[in-house]
Amino acid sequence: MKLNYILLLLSYTCATFSLTTQEVIKEMGFGWNLGNTLEACGDWINGSTVKQYETAWGNPVTTEEIIKGVKSYGFNTVRVPVAWSNLMLDNYIINPLLLSRVKEVVDYIVNNDMYAIVNIHWDMGWFTKFATNEKEAFKKYTSIWGQISQYFKDYDEHLVFESLNEEGCWDEIWNQWSNQGDKKKAFNLLNNINQEFVDIFRNSSENNAKRHLLLAGYCTSLDLTSDELYVIPKDDRVMISVHYYGPSTFTILEEDADWGKAAYSWGTEKEINYLVDELKKIKKNFIDKGIPIIVGEYGTAITNKEPASVIRWLKTVAKTTSSFGMVPCLWDAGQYFDREKLVFKNPAIGELFKQLSSALKQNNNLYLQIQKLNKHK
C-alpha cells in the first residue's frame, strides 16, 4: 500500500500543470531568497556585465552548488529577486545577457526539482513613477513582463512569476501613516497593475495560460493587503504575497534610531502570542477563504541580537506560517547561508530548517496523496 501511494504521488507531481495553486503551495514548502544578488543595482556600480551587478552588493556569483546546498537544508523554493533595468537597452528592452543569466539561475532551481519565484524587485525605485507618469510606467511594466513571459513560456509550473516586490504603494497619492490623500486611487493603481500582470500571462502563449502567478499585496503589508480596497483579479491560479518583519525594533534595527529603540532580545510569551495573532489575520482574510499566501520575505538582523532570540523568532514565524498553509521565504542577503562554504553560518539555524521542513514535507505529502486519490474516484 505504501508503494502505491508513492507511485501515485510521483505521477501526480510529474504531470505539467496538473496541480491546483493550493496544491502547488503544498509542494513549495519552505522558501529561501537569493537576496542582494540579481537585484543589486545602483548608479555607482557603473558595470558593463551582468556579473559586475550580480556581485556588487557583496555576494558571489550564484552557482548550482549554492542551490543544492540550500536544498540540502530542506528548502524547496527559491525566490529570485531581479533588477531588470540593469544594462537595459532603449525602449525598455531587457538586456539579452541578463535574461540568459536569470534563465541559468532558474535552471539551477527547477533542474533540482525546486520551485523558482522570479519578480521585479526595487529596481532603482522606478515604481514611484506610477504616481507621476502612469502611462509611461505602465509602458515599461508591460514591456518587461511581455518579454519575460515569452522568454520563459515553455517552463512548467515550477516557475512562478511575482508581479512586483514591496513597491506597490504610493505615499504621494495616499499616505498610509497620516491617512492623507486618495486611498482608493492608490489601491486601484496596484489593483490595475496586478490585473495587467495577470492579463499579460493569460494572453500569452504556451504554458503561461495556466501558470501560477504571485500578486503583490499593498506594500506587502498584512493589514493593508487585508483592506477591502485590495481587489484580487478573478483567476483561480493566483497567490498573494505579503512580507513580515515584526517587530521592526528587533528585526530591522541594529542600533537605536529616531523612530525606535533597538531590541536585543525577543521571545516572551506576550511577544510570541502577538506575532502569532498578527499572522492569524492574514490566515483569516485569505487562507480561510481559499486564497493561497506566500510570505515572500521574513527575516531578522543578527548584529547586536541575542542568537537564541534570532532562532526563536525565525522558528516562530516559519512554523506558524507553514502551519497555516503559507509558504514562508527566508530573506537572506548573506547573513544566514554561507554561499562559499555551502552551510548555514549558525549551524543551529540550519538544523532548525531541516527539522521544520522534514515535518512539513510529511504532512504536505499526505495532503497531496489524498488529493490525488480523490481526483481518481
From residue 95, alpha-carbon distances to 49, 70, 90 in Å are: 10, 28, 10
What SS3 string covers the chain? CHHHHHHHHHHHHHCCCCCCHHHHHHHHEEEEECCCCCCCCCCCCCCCCHHHHHCCCCCCCCCHHHHHHHHCCCEEEEEECCCCCCCCEHHHECCHHHHHHHHHHHHHHHCCCCEEEEECCCHHHHHHHHHHCHHHHHHHHHHHHHHHHHHCCCCCCCEEEECCCCCCCCCCCEECCCCEECHHHHHHHHHHHHHHHHHHHHCCCHHHHCCCEEEECHHHCHHHHCCCCCCCCCCCCEEEEEEECCCHHHHCCCCCECCECCCCCCCCHHHHHHHHHHHHHHHHHCHHHCCCEEEEEECCCCCCCCHHHHHHHHHHHHHHHHHCCCEEEECCCCCCEECCCCEECCHHHHHHHHHHHHHHHHHHHHHHHHHHHHHCC
Catalytic choice (27, 39, 162, 297) = 297
* Phi, then psi, of 293 in degrees rounded to 5: -125, 135
Q: Is 166 a catalytic residue?
A: yes
Cross-strand bridge partners of residue 31: 77, 329
Cell output for 265: 532580545
Residue with grid cell 541580537, as numbered in its chain:
305
Q: Which residues contact 25 (CB under 8 A, 6 or more apart)?
A: 239, 292, 294, 325, 326, 327
Catalytic choice (27, 166, 167, 271) = 166
Tell me if 67 sits within 8 A of 364, measured CB to CB: no
Q: Is 27 a catalytic residue?
A: no
Catalytic residues: 166, 297
